[in-house]
A and B are shown apart, each in its own frame.
Chain A
């Protein structure tokens, strides 16, 4: 069984570059691992727009996304592509 590596990014308070772009960049970087299901990427953000833009984009790329609200932040988790 493959151990799932969780890549955590804390992008709270980040305005520029956009959290979306940051997220896209990271996703691109780990796209193969994500496809193979080896990694999971978790973004911690306080940006309200990010909880719609990042999930939308990740979903279009075929990655399942979950958004969890924490205390003063949001946790956006992106899993590997579904078969």
Chain B
């Protein structure tokens, strides 16, 4: 109220009737006081109204603000005016508005976000009201259910989604409006697709559900995947259970988590027994490395392929191989899984195969022939030791190479390369014939004569898958065959020689006998007598030759006689150098010890060695032969201790190369073009049979020295010393002469007659027996019988004497033969004979033996 204005004249008032201003007249003090009182009261009332008005407005504003109104005591009039509550609240409103603005802006953004989420959600979102009408939906829902429609706002969901004309009372989403509780439906099928549907109620401030939000999550793919997974699981379970392999899963403690049917059946455990088992119950105790291997796998240290041995419930051993994988979760081992296959049979088969292979390998190694196997292309697969040695290729080098490279064959005669039998077989399909005259040229160029055969290796279908070639070095075999042939020839020669000698002896006998007879008829001073004497000596010489020939043909054990070797040496050496330019010198002491030797064989020895010396000096040269007594004081490898006669034969010939020296006594070893290789071999053999020793020293250009050691005669007189030669004496008596040779019989008969005997001849044993018996029975027995030892085709002397002795134990028989060294001749007494005659014999020999035999009666 403005007090200044109050002091002015009272204002004119408007007439109520006319509306004009009416001015009142002058007033008294009391009237003024009354007026002022009235005005004061009016003012108070107005003031009160005004303050109340302000209070009310403030309260109104506070109410609008959302807070409680003020109590009267909280704001008296004075304060009301002083504090400007309206201003305060108004200013607060400013802040409220600002806050609202901010909130609105945020809401706007949030709205946009929600819209974006709504629109871009991977699931369909539908908002419906109580009447099931569509309030809002997102693009996804449209895509899911009504892509053909434009806008479906306001349309009922039961038509849009469920294709129904009216709502179903059983619709679970309708119930949400009543219950206020959200629902979730899983696997709902709509339009051939699967959905998880979440229904969330939206409540107002009163808690009433005004709308629901339906979230449609298309789980068709998941359902399909689950179905596929289930099918796959079934498939794998089927495989797992029906697999023939043993499948197991083990926990970190070694206990079984699961096993399949095959496992249970193989190891013999029931389903309910598995939980009590650990992996260590099935590992075979014999398998020492299984434990550590398995442990390292069980504890995740290793995985992968493993071979081990299981033991069944029944204790049977099973070899298995398999694969183990380890499973981890968050760095911790959760188990191992293993798949195993029973390989017991395979193992057994492998062992058998291994044994077979070993057997084959050993067989191949031990086979004395070369064995090469090839594949179908003719490339080397396998070779044994012998083939390696013969070809010069090792298995490693030859493997994979063509057979023609490894086995280089040429013809022995033409030297042309030969077709390889393996190639022939592979081309023709037939086993090739054994090739003759095939030389194998080894890698080092050495040539060997081989014989070979090749066979195909076929599979079960009889198709050729390779070849086997077997070959052997027949060089030695052929050498031996040749030597055998030589030996046979020599033996044949020997037999021939023996035969010839026999006949020759008989001829000599006839010649000698006739010479003797002729000489008897001549005077000793007669010239013819001398000629006859010379002829006789020549015959004797011829006799020696035949002796040698017979020695050679008969061979055999030496018939030892005590003798001085000096004469034998001279005779044999002179004989050997006859006709050559070689000269022979002798140094043979008179006090040389006697030796006990087979004269014929020892002659052969000296003869052979001297002949060799002669051949070594084709232009002529000097041979020295020396003999000496020697004592060996100790048993050596070649000679025992004792007395020996050493004979040294030295020449100035070309010498023998050092490398040949060890071989010169070998049979058939010869460096001479026409040599038999037998001479020194026979020499060696004869010396050895005499318990002696022979050695040689030589070198090229230095001549050769042969040293022969012969045991000295120990002093025991030999049996049956040959009869001492005595001049012919006339005798008397009847003699039965058995000889198959007519000339011998005639000549000898003549000789016998000359010295006074009566002779009856016979050709063989039976005739002799008959004549002897007849003569004895008739009272005119024979005084002596001369029996030829060898009667070809008839009974000889040896058999005849037996018969005669049986008939007449006192028979006086003389054995006659050209071979003085024959055992019968040497030990005639033991055979029942009384005397011996060596052909060719002279008359004096006949006379001497007959006298001895007949007189000794």
Residue in B closest to A54 when the chains form the complex, CB atoms = B67
Chain B residues near A49 (CB-CB < 8 A): 68
CB distance from B427 to the nearest CB of A (A): 101
Interface residue B65 (Cβ < 8 Å from any Cβ of A): yes
Given contacts A27-B92, A52-B68, contact A18 B99 (CB under 8 A): no
B160 CB within 8 Å of chain A:
no
B106 CB to closest chain A CB, in angstroms? 9
Q: Quick one: given A24-B89, A24-B92, A25-B83, are A16 and B65 in contact (CB under 8 Å)? A: no
- CB of B65 within 8 A of CB of A60, answer yes
Pairwise interchain contact B98-A28, C-beta atoms closer than 8 A? no
CA distance A53 to B89 in the complex (A): 13
CB distance from B821 to the nearest CB of A (A): 147
Segment 13-56 of A: residues with Cβ below 8 Å from B: 15-21, 24-25, 27-28, 31, 49, 52-53, 56
Would you list which residues of chain B between 53 and 83 have a CB under 8 Å from chain A?
62, 65-68, 70-71, 73-76, 79, 83
Partner of A31, one of B79, B85, B95: B95
Interface: B224 (CB within 8 A): no
Q: How far apart are the CA atoms of A25 and B92 in the complex, in Å?
A: 8
Taking chain B's interface residues, is the majority helix, strand, or loop, or is none over half, making it mixed? Answer: helix
Measured in the bound complex, the distance between the Cα atoms of B113 and A8 in whole Å is 40
| B66-A60 in contact (CB<8A) | yes
Chain B contact residue count (CB 8 A cutoff): 25
The answer to the question of B102 belonging to the interface, with a C-beta cut-off of 8 Å to chain A, is yes
User: Closest CB of chain B to A27's CB: distance in Å?
Assistant: 7
Complex contact B67–A17 (CB within 8 A):
no
Contact of B73 among A15, A21, A53 (CB under 8 A): A15
Where chain A touches its partner, the secondary structure class is helix
Are the C-beta atoms of A17 and B83 separated by less than 8 Å?
yes
- Residues of chain B within 8 A (CB-CB) of A81 are 99, 102
> B70 touching A20 by the CB < 8 A rule?
yes
Does A4 sit within 8 A of B, measured CB to CB? no
Q: Which residues from chain A contact B79 at a C-beta distance below 8 Å?
A: 16-17
Given contacts A17-B79, A21-B83, contact A61 B99 (CB under 8 A): yes
A61, B70: Cβ atoms closer than 8 Å: no
Contact A21 B95 (CB under 8 A): no
The answer to whether B73 and A28 have CB atoms under 8 Å apart is no
Within 55-77 of A, Cβ neighbours of B (below 8 Å) are at: 56-57, 60-62
Nearest A residue to B68 by beta-carbon distance?
Answer: A53
What class of interface size applies to chain A in its complex with B? 20 to 34
Q: Are A16 and B95 in contact (CB under 8 A)?
A: no
**Given the complex, which residues of A lie within 8 Å of B74, measured CB to CB?**
15-21
User: What A residues does B223 contact at CB under 8 A?
Assistant: none
- With A21-B88, A24-B88, A25-B88 as given contacts, are A57 and B66 in contact (CB-CB < 8 Å)? yes
Q: Does B103 contact A (CB under 8 A)?
A: yes
Interface 0/1 of B85-101, CB less than 8 Å to A: 10011011011101100
Q: Are B99 and A62 in contact (CB under 8 A)?
A: yes
Contact B95 A62 (CB under 8 A): yes
Rounded to whole angstroms, the CA-CA distance of A81 and B103 in the bound complex is 11
Q: Which residues from A are CB-within-8-Å of B99?
A: 60-62, 81
Q: How far is it, in angstroms, between the C-alpha of A68 and the C-alpha of B67 when the chains are bound?
A: 20
B81-140: which have CB < 8 Å to A? 83, 85, 88-89, 91-92, 94-96, 98-99, 102-103
B residues within 8 A CB of A27? 92, 95
Q: What is the CA–CA distance of A39 and B376 in the complex, to the nearest angstrom?
A: 104
Which residues from chain A contact B70 at a C-beta distance below 8 Å?
18, 20-21
Question: Using Cβ atoms and an 8 Å threshold, which residues of chain B touch A20?
Answer: 62, 67-68, 70, 74
How far does the alpha carbon of A24 sit from the alpha carbon of B92 in the complex, in Å? 7
Question: How far apart sit A62 and B65, CA to CA, in the bound complex (Å)?
Answer: 12
Q: Which residue of A lies closest to B70 (CB)?
A: A18
* Cα–Cα distance between A17 and B62 once the two chains are bound (Å): 15
Complex Cα–Cα for A11 and B522 (A): 203
Report which residue of A31, A53, A56 has the largest number of chain B beta carbons within 10 angstroms of its beta carbon: A53
Which B residue's beta carbon lies closest to that of A28? Answer: B91
Please determine whether A16 and B73 come into contact, CB atoms closer than 8 angstroms.
yes
A52 and B69 CA atoms in complex are apart in Å by 12
Q: Could you say which residues of chain B place their CB within 8 Å of the CB of A21? A: 70, 74-75, 83, 85, 88-89
Indicate whether A57 sits within 8 Å of B92 (C-beta atoms), given known contacts A18-B75, A21-B75.
yes
Alpha-carbon gap, A62 to B856, bound state (A) = 180
> Given the complex, which residues of A lie within 8 Å of B73, measured CB to CB?
15-16
A28 touches B67 (CB 8 A): no
Question: Which residue of B68, B71, B74, B98 has the most chain A CB atoms within 10 A of its CB atom?
Answer: B74
| Residue in A53, A57, A62 whose CB lies within 8 Å of B98 | A62
A69 to chain B, nearest CB (A): 20
Residues of B close to A25: CB separation below 8 A:
83, 88
Inside 8 A of B95's CB, which chain A residues have their CB? 27-28, 31, 61-62
Interchain CB contact under 8 A, A60 and B68: no
Q: Taking CB as reference atom, which chain A residue is nearest B78?
A: A16
Q: What are the residues of chain B within 8 A of A16 when measuring CB–CB?
A: 73-76, 79
Residue of B nearest to A25 (CB): B88
Distance of A32 Cα from B89 Cα, bound (Å):
16
How far does the Cβ of B77 sit from chain A's closest Cβ, in whole Å?
Answer: 10
Closest to A57 in B: B67
- B67 near A53 (CB under 8 angstroms)? yes
Cβ–Cβ < 8 Å partners of B103 in chain A: 62
Q: A21-B85, A61-B96 are in contact. List 4 more A-B contacts (CB 8 A).
A: A18-B70, A18-B71, A20-B70, A31-B94
List 19 interface pairs A-B (beta carbons < 8 Å), by A numbering: A16-B74, A16-B76, A16-B79, A17-B75, A17-B79, A19-B74, A21-B83, A21-B88, A24-B88, A24-B91, A25-B88, A27-B92, A28-B91, A28-B95, A56-B68, A60-B99, A61-B95, A61-B98, A62-B95
What 7 pairs across the A-B complex have the smallest Cβ distances? A62-B99, A18-B74, A61-B95, A28-B91, A56-B67, A17-B79, A57-B67
